[in-house]
Amino acid sequence: MRKKRVATVSLAGCFGCHMSLLDMDERILELLQDVEFDRSPLNDLKKFTRRCDLGIIEGGCCNEDNVHTLRDFRNNCDVLVAVGQCAIMGGLPVMRNAIMHSDDPLRECLEEAYCSSPRVYNPSNQIPNDPALPLLLDKVYTCVDVVKIDYQIPGCPPSGDVLWATLSALVRNEPIDLPYDMVKYD
Amino acid sequence: MNKTMRITVDGRKIRASPGQTIMDACDDAGVYVPRLCDVEGLVPQGSCRVCTVKADGHTVAACTEPAEPGMKVENDTLEIKNYRRDLVRMLFHEGNHLCPICEASGRCELQAMAYRLRISQATKYPYLQPVRPVDASHPDIALDNNRCILCGRCIRASRDVDGKHVFEYVGRGIHKRIGVNAENLAATNASIDDYAMSLEVCPVGCIIRKREGFFAPIGARQFDREPIGMDVETRQEHHVPKRRPDPAFGNDGTK
């Protein structure tokens, strides 16, 4: 049986879920018997070299680059797995969608972060607008809002155990059956 | 009429006394019916519908439906479980339930109910992401309405136990929310010692007791090891009858 090809990416996330992948500890060696990594920050491959069986998405979409990357993953992966609360329901970045009493939440958020906050040093008093920066979206979108997601693994981050249980079941085409103490939303 | 009767829950015969609701009879027999808006010591309200069961073929709220002799109740069936899953999912999608940043995570009944019902995969509902204010005016208590599931437990606790009427429902439909009895919470006569502000009343992290957050470490929190409802399922061994306000004493029979 050929090895399953896996691609991973961190969108609007903190890389905590990727750190949690490493929390599988020595089981990652066992996983590597059946799996090879394609595009992933773990091997620093920036583009797909060929079609993958499994795409692992960390984080939701907060800018247009996230959306392009996520669509690229959908087009190049057979199965997409959203990993962690940010990918599933927006997580911490989604808090900017609900800034209180504001008609223009994104502008208010950026002004607070770059201009008006008392501890900010920003002599130009401008919000960064370099053309190289990806365009921010009006709000943070979950992965499900943008593409079809086949499975999700909740957690912030999901433990190494739940990642191992889910990914090893997916790689071996077995049903996913998680015990009570593995599914966590925090 | 004063004789105890028998009802059948998922094929198991249990005893019920006249006037008892299906849920109280189940609790006394050690059968857990999932619930969010109902809590021991308060008058049942039947608003969250998570305790929905099938009684003789009709879907009813177990916390308000009186038990009747020979009643056949379906509680732990796939159909009922799927109703409950959808109800709990909708609660998650209606408010802003950010478990990673919530102080109540690990002791939150909404979260624990989702764990118990094994909700882990994507749903068909959109996240509404409402904009709701936070009231941190009171020196000892903060209210984060983003997490409110409108169970009304604080309303009943304040009205029936504390006799204060601090909380009440405001608005209708999707605009319904919990309001306080003044401009803000600091302007009411609410106190941190009120039963309504105790940890057991708010099932989520809406009523925040200031300077007490994160008192239990991850792994030692209420629902980290044991699913919600374990206390009811082990109740029979201790023979502890369920507390309910006595109607003879009006609404203040609990304390």
From-to residues of CATH 3.30.70.20 in chain B? 82-212
**Which pLDDT band, with edges at 50, 70 and 90, does A104 fall under?**
confident
Residues 6 or more apart whose CB falls under 8 angstroms from that of B9 comprise B22, B26, B29, B31, B73, B75
Residues B236, B233: Cα–Cα separation, whole Å? 7
pLDDT at residue B37, rounded to an integer: 95
Interface test with A, best of B91, B92, B97, B98 (most A CBs within 10 A): B98
Report the pLDDT averaged over residues B29-48. Answer: 94
> Do the Cβ atoms of B101 and A101 come within 8 Å?
no
Report the pLDDT averaged over residues B243-250. Answer: 60
Residues A136, A129: Cα–Cα separation, whole Å? 10
Strand partners, B21: B66
DSSP state of B148: -
A101: its two tokens: 């009493």
Residue A70: count other Cβ atoms within 10 Å of its Cβ: 26
R_g of chain B, CA atoms, integer Å: 18
Confirm or reject contact between A91 and chain B (CB < 8 A): yes
Closest to B108 measured CA to CA, from B131, B121, B86, B92: B92
Residue-wise DSSP of A139-171: EEE-HHHHS---EEE-SSSPPHHHHHHHHHHHH
**Which pLDDT band, with edges at 50, 70 and 90, does A95 fall under?**
confident
Residues B86, B91: Cα–Cα separation, whole Å? 9
CATH class held by domain B5-73:
alpha beta
Confirm or reject contact between B189 and chain A (CB < 8 A): no
Q: Nearest CB to B98: which of A95, A178, A180?
A: A95
Strand partners, B186: none
Which H helix or E strand runs over B143? Answer: strand B141-144
Confirm or reject contact between B146 and chain A (CB < 8 A): yes
> Do the Cβ atoms of A186 and B106 come within 8 Å?
yes
From-to residues of CATH 3.10.20.740 in chain B? 5-73
> Do the Cβ atoms of A85 and B100 come within 8 Å?
yes
Confirm or reject contact between B102 and chain A (CB < 8 A): yes
What residues of B are in contact with residue A95 (Cβ under 8 Å)?
96, 98, 101
Strand, helix or coil at A116?
helix
Looking at the complex, report in whole angstroms how far the Cα of residue B155 sits from the nearest Cα belonging to chain A.
25
Please give the distance of CA B247 from its chain centroid, rounded to a whole number. Answer: 21
pLDDT at residue A54, rounded to an integer: 95
pLDDT at residue A71, rounded to an integer: 97
Which H helix or E strand runs over B73? Answer: strand B72-74
pLDDT at residue B249, rounded to an integer: 47
With a cut of 70, say whether residue A150 has pLDDT above it. Answer: yes
Cβ pair B168, B155 in contact under 8 A: yes
Confirm or reject contact between B13 and chain A (CB < 8 A): no
Vertex B53: Cα angle to B223 and B21 (nearest 5): 90
Q: Is residue A66 part of a domain?
A: yes
Nearest-Cα residue of chain B relative to residue A148: B122
A9, A19, A86, A179 from A22: Cα distances, Å: 14, 5, 19, 21
Which has more pLDDT, A1 or B11?
B11
Evaluated on CA atoms A111, A114, A120, A122, the torsion sign reads: negative
Residues B82-137 pLDDT 10s: 999 999 999 999 999 999 999 999 999 999 999 999 998 888 899 998 888 899 99
Residues B44, B36: Cα–Cα separation, whole Å? 11
Residues A51-87 pLDDT 10s: 999 999 999 999 999 999 999 999 999 999 999 999 9
CATH of residue A69? 3.40.50.700
Please give the distance of CA B50 from its chain centroid, rounded to a whole number. Answer: 9
The count of structural domains within chain A is 1
Residues 6 or more apart whose CB falls under 8 angstroms from that of B158 comprise B164, B165, B166, B167, B190, B194, B195, B196
> Do the Cβ atoms of B101 and A100 come within 8 Å?
no
B131, B134, B189, B204 from B137: Cα distances, Å: 18, 9, 13, 20
Confirm or reject contact between A15 and chain B (CB < 8 A): no
Report the pLDDT averaged over residues B224-244. Answer: 79
Domain extent, residue A67, equals 4-97+136-182
Confirm or reject contact between A85 and chain B (CB < 8 A): yes
Residue type, A179: P
Residues A153, B223: Cα–Cα separation, whole Å? 19
Report the pLDDT averaged over residues B218-238. Answer: 85
Q: Is residue A119 part of a domain?
A: no
What residues of A are in contact with residue B127 (Cβ under 8 Å)?
89-90, 94, 142
> Do the Cβ atoms of A185 and B100 come within 8 Å?
yes
Architecture label for domain B82-212: 2-Layer Sandwich (3.30)
Average predicted confidence (pLDDT) for chain B: 91
Q: Is residue A10 part of a domain?
A: yes
**Which pLDDT band, with edges at 50, 70 and 90, does A109 fall under?**
confident
Average predicted confidence (pLDDT) for chain A: 91
Looking at the complex, report in whole angstroms how far the Cα of residue B240 sits from the nearest Cα belonging to chain A.
27
Nearest-Cα residue of chain A relative to residue B132: A100
**Model pTM?**
0.91
Report the pLDDT averaged over residues B159-182. Answer: 94
Residues B71, B76: Cα–Cα separation, whole Å? 16
